[in-house]
Structure 1
């Protein structure tokens, strides 16, 4: 019951963000500022606090990396097959990337931090880093290839080097590995800032969601939902069970890969000639339905 209440609270915050956008309170400028606070301040603080006191060897393993890559590329391959007959290249490319590109930072990691023990959160932070390094270039490659759009892939990859999420992860793991002690007051302050990551992110996601019901392609959107928040976590469950990883790694991996489509896929679609309206709809649909599927996943795991 506690998990259900928590997830319903997430849905309420998400819908509040949508309502604030509709009322004009969260206009584009304010949403961008709120998004910057979440992305450059709250989320890095959460990642650092989760990893600063743990050595990298305790969190990162060959089984974890191998399992993540297997699930990611298998889901992407399935998406390519399922969506190969979409009516336009713009819709096909968006359907493919939104079937595997997970909302790990804005929803996955904060949700894990709010639900599970610190060690699970630390592993989830590593998962965020590993998958981000792969899914962002893959998404750019798919969109630019299918749509014939120009994309500075090398520039995007260089941009990852300055990504605050990855930098905070590297800093936390480095400090944890060499055993530096941080003052309790500093840790408490960062922990308080990190706790804002989830509500701020949900407000931003809600403020970015738009839907035009008359134009909905239920078959295409339904297939994206089925692949992203049903097939992908089920595949993760099977893969990490077969790899016989420890419980914390299993829990973090399944929950993180069971998150909905990332809002950033809408941005990539807009930049690389994808179907923007379709992309926005899929973010909304996967986020909404994931309230139910994440409840089922977390209930089964715990």
Structure 2
């Protein structure tokens, strides 16, 4: 437990520093947008490409990991959809609020997961987590859009737009390019490899600082049923479900640890953007993201201690 806390404490402190910098006004809103785009479109894709292009896939249980993650997400989504009408009947949770609970339970912050994987598992963890992204990112985007289009008041994007968004996702593109280079057997030129290594060293601190800057503590109100469910279903239910599926599919060691990390980190900040664009309860979504991130310092170490 102490070892895990020591690995997570620097990440927590960097998140806190991002929040402090944002509140001092040292960096303004538009400037934060530029920094976030730099991390999302350049720095993180660089570290993913470099990691994937050199990883030895023959030593990684990719199919078992993928099966565990997909089964976990589908199980959680199915149970939430079954609970949709009881939630409205008992606690008056309407469609838009339900979509925020859905996103808060299923979606994940890949930037935090990358930082934790690097600190807890090491370089091998980044390669394993990249495999998790291949299975999780497309499925989560499609499920979130379908649920929002059905239960919220927004208009669903066309199938063409969904496909375009997936195939222009910088994480997916960098992972795909890394796989091609890996399979080709071509080693990265020394200068390129060193350049990507520099980008990689910058990606994690900058990305985590942006997570802290995006926190909005003023949005938190007195917790109700919707906020409680949206915040705690993910850190309490998903790691347990994922752990059981890893046992069923024979996933162990670092790969099992990465599966638990992927299912323990807070919800992605872009869940708020999607909720706002498609008519979900954006305010509730912001509260869920903020509260999950604040409680992650306790919930993630507990999940890793029990299941990792």
Q: Structures share a fold, TM > 0.5?
A: yes
Provide, for residues 109-147 of structure 1, a one-character-per-residue CA deviation record: whole Å limited to 9, x for no partner. 232023214333212101112100110111111111101
Aligned match for 2:121, one of 116, 124, 134: 116
Distance 1:268 1:19, change over 3 A: same
Instruction: Note the C-alpha offset of 1:82.
Output: 4.6
Provide, for residues 28-54 of structure 1, a one-character-per-residue CA deviation record: whole Å limited to 9, x for no partner. 201111101110111111111211123
What is the 5 A alignment of 1:36-185? Answer: 36-54=37-55, 56=57, 58-59=59-60, 61-82=62-83, 84-85=87-88, 86-103=92-109, 105-154=110-159, 155-185=161-191
- Whether 2:9 is the aligned partner of 1:8: answer yes
Aligned to 1:27: 28
Aligned to 2:242: 236
Is 2:8–2:119's contact at 8 Å kept on the other side of the alignment? Answer: no
Provide, for residues 197-223 of structure 1, a one-character-per-residue CA deviation record: whole Å limited to 9, x for no partner. 222122222222213467333332222
Instruction: Note the C-alpha offset of 1:27.
Output: 2.2
Distance 1:213 1:64, change over 3 A: closer
Q: What is the SS of the residue equivalent to 2:106? A: coil
CA distance in 1, matches of 2:100, 2:304: 28
- Whether 2:283 is the aligned partner of 1:283: answer no
- Bigger drift between 108-117 and 90-99 goes to 108-117
Backbone CA RMSD of aligned residues: 2.1
- Bigger drift between 278-287 and 6-15 goes to 6-15
CA distance in 2, matches of 1:148, 1:173: 39
- Bigger drift between 82-91 and 160-169 goes to 82-91
Instruction: Note the C-alpha offset of 1:229.
Output: 1.1
Provide, for residues 155-189 of structure 1, a one-character-per-residue CA deviation record: whole Å limited to 9, x for no partner. 03212111111111011111112211123443233
Q: Report the count of equivalent residues.
A: 301
Is 1:71–1:236's contact at 8 Å kept on the other side of the alignment? Answer: yes
Provide, for residues 40-86 of structure 1, a one-character-per-residue CA deviation record: whole Å limited to 9, x for no partner. 11111111121112355554643222221110011122333455324
Is 2:100–2:230's contact at 8 Å kept on the other side of the alignment? Answer: no
- Provide structure 1 residue ranges, at least 5 long, that are not aligned to the other structure: none
Provide, for residues 3-40 of structure 1, a one-character-per-residue CA deviation record: whole Å limited to 9, x for no partner. 31332222222222222222222322011111011101
CA distance in 2, matches of 1:243, 1:2: 27
CA distance in 2, matches of 1:60, 1:49: 20
Instruction: Note the C-alpha offset of 1:231.
Output: 0.7
CA distance in 2, matches of 1:60, 1:166: 19
Is 2:12–2:297's contact at 8 Å kept on the other side of the alignment? Answer: yes
TM-score by length of 2: 0.90
